[in-house]
């Protein structure tokens, strides 16, 4: 354990002005989930969890592939039954992303997961006991150490021990942190240190305070998440607030947005949070005005069609779609490519230079065509040859 954590300082020679640099990260220990480094200044990784029955290997692998395409770094699968445990070896072997197995209570499934060759497990050692005997924790710790498999301790506000609830008067940040450190100690006592910790709560503000406290109390990498955040829109908002606030303070090494929705949406939201904080390089960024009574074109449709037309762009490219000439030209000039619309027409602006004016029904085609050109220029500037956009 360590307090007064040092900060991981962003190198000053990154060529970026200070206000474009990502948040200064708190220094944590480094561990590896398969080939993915977590903590110690490694890029913040995005996680999600499959919703298919784990024993259905094909369905699970297909969903993992979809999550991979959306930008996930690590995928978690649940293992509630023996037949799920039986499927782990094939999933671990064929998955395109390192697999973490989520286990509750059953120490045998933890052992099965490690033997199956998975990249990580999530288990709460406090759950692994019989009549208070924690001897199986050592068995798991030894096997995980031998296999180089890290363990995440996942404390959840909804399942705190009664002892801690009584001591702290409910689900408080202090109670959750004490629970997490107690769990970590069980592993430390058997000589295991490749630990990451989460202390999730469904209230983003409670969650923020809990992780702040935890980050002062230990130097383990932290896995951030707002648990049971809700459906896509409200869940993404709560997660962006909770996870985003912490990342902006430099706290957090890996994240999961939990939504009652397709897990691909979780990944998109997670990637979006990292991009918003400059913690992951942006891909396509369509900036569009909210539209108002001054708008002289259909901004919503234009923005949607431009977004679709540029699907697949894999370089940082900002395209502005602005509804009128009040703020339009200024915002469009800040972008790589933009349109400042007027009545039934649009002025196309490329990296600050006004190119030409087109009728409204040609705006999308013009933007997409020139945005592709700019994307190729960006690739060339970066020394990457192949075209960025698949038509």
CA angle 224, 229, 234 (to 5 degrees): 120
Least separation in angstroms between residue 226's CB and ligand SF4 is 31
β-pairing, 223-224 vs 254-256, is: parallel
Least separation in angstroms between residue 322's CB and ligand SF4 is 5
CB nearer to ligand SF4: give 186 or 322. 322
CB nearer to ligand SF4: give 181 or 322. 322
Least separation in angstroms between residue 365's CB and ligand SF4 is 21
Q: Write out the H or E segment, with its range, that includes residue 76.
A: strand 74-78
Least separation in angstroms between residue 295's CB and ligand SF4 is 4
CB nearer to ligand SF4: give 121 or 303. 303
Determine the angle formed by the axes of helices 57-70 and 263-276, rounding to 10 degrees: 20
Least separation in angstroms between residue 291's CB and ligand SF4 is 5
Q: Cα 106 vs. chain centroid, distance in angstroms?
A: 28
Query: Binding residues for ligand SF4, per CB under 6 A?
Result: 289-292, 294-295, 322-324, 326-328
CB nearer to ligand SF4: give 2 or 326. 326
CB nearer to ligand SF4: give 221 or 338. 338
Least separation in angstroms between residue 307's CB and ligand SF4 is 17
Three-state DSSP state, 64? helix
| DSSP string covering 103-142 | --S-HHHHHHHHHHT-SEEE--GGGS-BTTB-HHHHHHHH
CA dihedral 139, 142, 146, 147 (to 10 degrees): 50
β-pairing, 254-256 vs 45-49, is: parallel
Q: Between the CA of residue 253 and those of 31, 149, 279, what are the distances in Å?
A: 11, 17, 11
CB nearer to ligand SF4: give 17 or 290. 290
């Amino acid at each position: 354990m360590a307090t007064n954590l040092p900060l991981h300082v962003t190198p000053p020679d990154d060529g970026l002005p200070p206000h474009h640099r990502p948040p200064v990260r708190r220094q944590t220990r480094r561990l590896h989930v398969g080939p993915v480094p977590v903590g110690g200044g490694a890029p913040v990784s995005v996680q999600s969890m499959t919703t298919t029955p784990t024993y259905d290997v094909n369905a699970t692998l297909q969903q993992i592939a979809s999550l991979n395409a959306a930008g996930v770094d690590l995928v978690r699968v649940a293992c509630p039954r023996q037949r799920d445990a039986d499927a782990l070896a094939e999933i671990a072997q064929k998955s395109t992303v390192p697999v973490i197995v989520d286990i509750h209570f059953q120490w045998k499934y933890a052992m099965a997961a490690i033997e199956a060759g998975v990249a990580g497990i999530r288990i709460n050692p406090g759950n692994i006991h019989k009549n208070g005997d924690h001897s199986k924790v050592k068995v798991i710790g030894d096997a995980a150490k031998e296999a180089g498999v890290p363990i995440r301790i996942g404390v959840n506000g909804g399942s705190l021990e009664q002892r801690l609830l009584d001591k702290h008067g409910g689900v408080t940040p202090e109670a959750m942190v004490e629970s997490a450190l107690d769990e970590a100690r069980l592993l430390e006592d058997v000589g295991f240190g490749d630990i990451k910790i989460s202390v999730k709560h469904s209230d983003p503000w409670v969650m923020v305070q809990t992780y702040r406290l935890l980050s002062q109390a230990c130097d383990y990498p932290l896995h951030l998440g707002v648990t049971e955040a809700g459906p896509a829109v409200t869940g993404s908002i709560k997660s962006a607030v909770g996870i985003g606030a912490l990342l902006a303070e430099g706290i957090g090494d890996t994240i999961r947005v939990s939504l009652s929705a397709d897990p691909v949406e979780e990944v998109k939201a997670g990637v979006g949070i990292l991009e918003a904080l400059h913690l992951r390089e942006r891909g396509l960024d369509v900036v569009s005005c909210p539209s108002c009574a001054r708008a002289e074109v259909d901004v919503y449709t234009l923005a949607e069609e431009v977004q679709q037309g540029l699907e697949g762009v894999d370089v940082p490219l900002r395209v502005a779609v602005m509804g009128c000439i009040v703020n339009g030209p200024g915002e469009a000039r800040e972008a790589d490519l933009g349109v400042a619309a007027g009545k039934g027409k649009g002025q196309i602006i490329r990296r600050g230079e006004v190119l030409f004016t087109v009728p409204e029904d040609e705006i999308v085609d013009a933007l997409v065509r020139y945005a592709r050109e700019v994307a190729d220029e960006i690739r060339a500037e970066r020394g990457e040859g192949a075209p960025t956009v698949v038509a």
